Structure 1
Amino acid sequence: MPSASALIDAHGRTIRYLRISVTDRCDLRCRYCMSETMQFLPRDRLMSVDEMAALAECFIARGVNKIRLSGGEPLMRGDTVALAERLGTHLGRGLDELTMTTNATRLARHAGALAAAGIRRINVSLDSRDPDTFRHITRTGDLDRVLEGIAAARSAGIAIKINMVALKGLNEHEIAPMLAWCAEQGFDLSLIETMPLGAIDEDRTDRFLPLTQVFADLSERFTLERDTFKTGGPARYWKLADSSIRLGLISPLTANFCDGCNRVRMTTEGLLYLCLGQDAHVDLRSALREGGPAAVDAAIDAGMMRKPAAHAFNIAPGAAPAVSRHMSVTGG
C-alpha cells in the first residue's frame, strides 16, 4: 500500500517515475523532433545542479523510485555527470534506478563516469544504422560517434536499449534489420510512433508510421511472444524467440497507454509537466526558491490534482501540434 506521502493523481494513478530534462539543447536536429534552426533557452535560465538535485530529492522522499536524465541531449551539459553522481547516492535508499536517454554522440567520453555514478541502463536514440540516412534524419549526425558511444557504454557494463522512431519513407525498411542487429548485440529495441510536439519544418503526417502495421510486418519475419515485463515506462513488450532481448512498442496514437501513466517530467527551468501531450504544469523552481521543500511538496500536490487523464495527440493532416513545446523541453 502507498504511504500517506505517496504521489497519487486525481485519477488514482501512483507516480513513481520522474524524468528530468537537464537541458533543452541538442547537438542533432532530428527532422521529426526539431526545426533546423532552433531557439534554445538562455543558459542563465537553467537550474543549477543543486536545484535539480534538491527537487529530485523531494520526489524521492514522496515515493518516486526511478529517475531518468534526458534532454535535449543531456551530455551537452557539462555538469550532468555531477548530477548523476549526486542522485546516485540515493540508489538503494529510496531510489531503485537511475537511467539516461542519450543520442550517444558524447557518450564515449562519459560512459565510465556514468557507470561509476550508478547508471546501469541507458536508452540510445538511433533511427538508422545507415550513415547517409542517419545524417539525413539528424541533419548533422555522425553515425560512427554514436556507435563508439554505444561500445563504450557496453564496455563500462551499462545495459543498452535502442530507441527507434518509425518514420514512413525514411527508415521503415530498416526496422527489421535493426531488430536483427539488436538481437546480435544483446540490446533491447523500442519502436516509437512519431509524436506531434512543437512546430517542425516538415509535415509529420507524411512520416507517421503506425506501429500496428510495423508489428504485423515484423511478426512475419520473427517469432514474437507477448512479455509481461515492465520498466515503468509506456512500452508494451514482446520477447524475441531464440534471443534474450525484448521488443518494445511505444504507440501513443494507435494504442493509448495513458491509463497506466506513472510519470511526470521536469524541465531544466524547474517546470513540472504532468503530461507529455498537455500543457498543465507547476513551477517547482519558484517554489523551492521561495519556500523550500515544504513549498515544493505543496506545489507537487497541486500538480497531482492537475494531471490529465490522457494526452491530446492528433496526427491528422493539417492538425496543429498537441503542444507548442518541442520534445527536447520535456525529454520525451
Structure 2
Amino acid sequence: MPELIDSFNRPIEYVRLSVTDRCDLRCNYCMPRDFHDFEDREHVLSFEEIERVMAAFGELGVKRIRLTGGEPLVRKGLPDLAARLAALPGIEDLSLSTNAVRLAKHAEALVRAGVSRINVSLDTLQPARFKAITNGRLDKVIDGLMAAKQSRFQPIKLNMVAMRGVNDDEFGDMVDFCLEHDFTLRLIETMPLGESGLDATDHYLDLQTVKQQLAERYDLVPGVMAGGGPAKYMQVVGTNMHIGFITPISQHFCESCNRVRLAADGTLYLCLGQEDKLELRPLLRGGISDAGLREAIVGAIARKPEKHEFREKPLQVVRFMSMTGG
C-alpha cells in the first residue's frame, strides 16, 4: 500500500475528521459563550463526501481515523457514518473524541459500528467548576462515561486541559478517579487558538511541573500505549493505569507529527498551528475524479509545515478549535 510522506520525511497515517463545528457545551478555552457563527449546513460535507475523502486517504496509506467536532455526537446518524468508515479498505483504527454529554444514548451503537476507542474531554470532577468551564452539567458526562465503560470501549481516555488557577488542584483527584474506573488520563497544555474567552497564556501550565508533582504522590515509571497521538505516557506502578502528557508548548512533538485535520466544511488543515490548508469541498462538488482527489491530497501533504509557532507567534492562528476539528 502507498504511503503519504511529507517533505520532512514524516509518514501521514492519521486523519482527525470533524463531522460538525457545532457543540452542546461552551468550554471557555474552545468557543466563546455567545458564539453562534456556525458553518452553513449546506457547506458541511455529506456522509457520502466524507466517505469518499476517507476512502482516498485509505488508498494512500492512512490507517487511523478519529471522529471529532465540535461535538461529533450532535451530528445526526453518526453511528451510520462510523460503520461506513470502519469498512473502508486500509482503515485499521476508528476512534472518537467526545464531551460524553450524549454518549449514554449512543455508546452501544458506536461499538457495533466499529468505534473501538474513545477520548472524553473532562477538565474537572466538581459540578460547579464544570458548569463554569463548560456551561454544562457534569452528571451527564459521568453517565456517558459509565455507559462507555459498560459498552467495553478499550481504552477510555480522559482528556484534561491543565489550567493554572482553574483546575490545577484536581490532578490527583482525576488520577484517583481513573484508577477507580480503569480509565487512562491525558493531561494537555493550553494552546493559543482564537479568542475563546480564556487566555491560554494566563492559564498556561508547563506539564513537566505537573509530572513532577504527580511523581511525589504516585510511583510512576515510563509507559507505552498504542495509538496515533502525541502523548508521552507514565504508568502507575502496580496498576494498568497510564497518565499521558501532551505538551505542544513545553516540548513540542512536531518532528513526529503523523496527522492532518479535515474540518466539517471540507477544509484539510495540514497543521493545527498554521494556516496551510486545502479546500476539498469545491473539488468534490466540482466533479473531481478519484484519481484527481488522491493527487490533490498528495500535493497538499507535500506542503505540510515543519512545525507550529505557538511560542513564537501565539496570535498567528485566529480560528477556534471547534472550527479546525479537535
Secondary structure (helix, strand or coil) at the match of 1:324 reads: coil
1:325 alignment partner in structure 2: 319
1:26 maps onto 2:23 in alignment:
yes
1:88 alignment partner in structure 2: 86
String of CA shifts for 1:258-294, please: whole Å, max 9, x gaps.
Answer: 1000001001111110001100001122222331212
For the Cα contact (< 8 Å) 1:199–1:321, is it kept in 2?
no
Inter-partner Cα distance in structure 2 for 1:81 and 1:134? 27
1:7 alignment partner in structure 2: 4
Secondary structure (helix, strand or coil) at the match of 2:12 reads: coil
Range 96-105 or range 81-90, more displaced: 81-90
1:232 alignment partner in structure 2: 228
> 1:150 is aligned with what amino acid?
L
Residue of structure 2 aligned with 1:63, choices 41, 61, 64 = 61
Secondary structure (helix, strand or coil) at the match of 1:225 reads: strand
1:179 maps onto 2:175 in alignment:
yes
1:77 alignment partner in structure 2: 75
For the Cα contact (< 8 Å) 2:264–2:325, is it kept in 1?
no
For the Cα contact (< 8 Å) 2:22–2:38, is it kept in 1?
yes
Range 251-260 or range 221-230, more displaced: 221-230
For residues 252-291 of structure 1, what are the structure 2 equivalents within 5 Å? 252-290=248-286, 291=288
Secondary structure (helix, strand or coil) at the match of 2:235 reads: strand
For the Cα contact (< 8 Å) 1:197–1:324, is it kept in 2?
yes
Give aligned pairs, total: 323
| Alpha-carbon spacing, 1:220–1:201, altered in 2? closer, same or farther (3 Å) | same
**TM-score using structure 1 length:** 0.94
1:113 maps onto 2:85 in alignment:
no
String of CA shifts for 1:68-114, please: whole Å, max 9, x gaps.
Answer: 00000000111222210111223xx4111100000000111110110
Residue of structure 2 aligned with 1:216, choices 212, 219, 227 = 212
CA-CA distance at 1:230 after TM superposition: 4.2
CA-CA distance at 1:320 after TM superposition: 4.9
CA-CA distance at 1:203 after TM superposition: 2.2
Runs of 5+ consecutive residues of structure 1 not aligned to the other structure: none
Inter-partner Cα distance in structure 1 for 2:198 and 2:98? 24
1:156 alignment partner in structure 2: 151
1:17 alignment partner in structure 2: 14
2:246 alignment partner in structure 1: 250
Inter-partner Cα distance in structure 1 for 2:153 and 2:193? 30
Inter-partner Cα distance in structure 2 for 1:193 and 1:123? 16
Inter-partner Cα distance in structure 2 for 1:211 and 1:322? 23
Secondary structure (helix, strand or coil) at the match of 2:245 reads: strand
Q: How large is the RMSD of aligned CA atoms in angstroms?
A: 1.3
String of CA shifts for 1:172-227, please: whole Å, max 9, x gaps.
Answer: 11011101110111001100001111112232222111101111111110111112
1:199 maps onto 2:183 in alignment:
no
| Alpha-carbon spacing, 1:94–1:72, altered in 2? closer, same or farther (3 Å) | same
CA-CA distance at 1:49 after TM superposition: 0.6
1:146 maps onto 2:141 in alignment:
yes
Inter-partner Cα distance in structure 1 for 2:116 and 2:228? 15
String of CA shifts for 1:32-67, please: whole Å, max 9, x gaps.
Answer: 111111121121211101101110111011111110
Inter-partner Cα distance in structure 2 for 1:189 and 1:145? 19
Inter-partner Cα distance in structure 2 for 1:268 and 1:203? 26
String of CA shifts for 1:281-320, please: whole Å, max 9, x gaps.
Answer: 0112222233121221121111111100101113x8xx75
Inter-partner Cα distance in structure 2 for 1:283 and 1:293? 16
String of CA shifts for 1:218-269, please: whole Å, max 9, x gaps.
Answer: 1110111112434111111111111101111000000110100000100111
1:41 alignment partner in structure 2: 39
Residue of structure 2 aligned with 1:241, choices 237, 248, 251 = 237
1:189 alignment partner in structure 2: 185
String of CA shifts for 1:118-174, please: whole Å, max 9, x gaps.
Answer: 111100000001100111111x21111001111111111112110000011111110
For the Cα contact (< 8 Å) 2:192–2:201, is it kept in 1?
no
Secondary structure (helix, strand or coil) at the match of 2:306 reads: coil
**TM-score using structure 2 length:** 0.96
Secondary structure (helix, strand or coil) at the match of 1:207 reads: coil
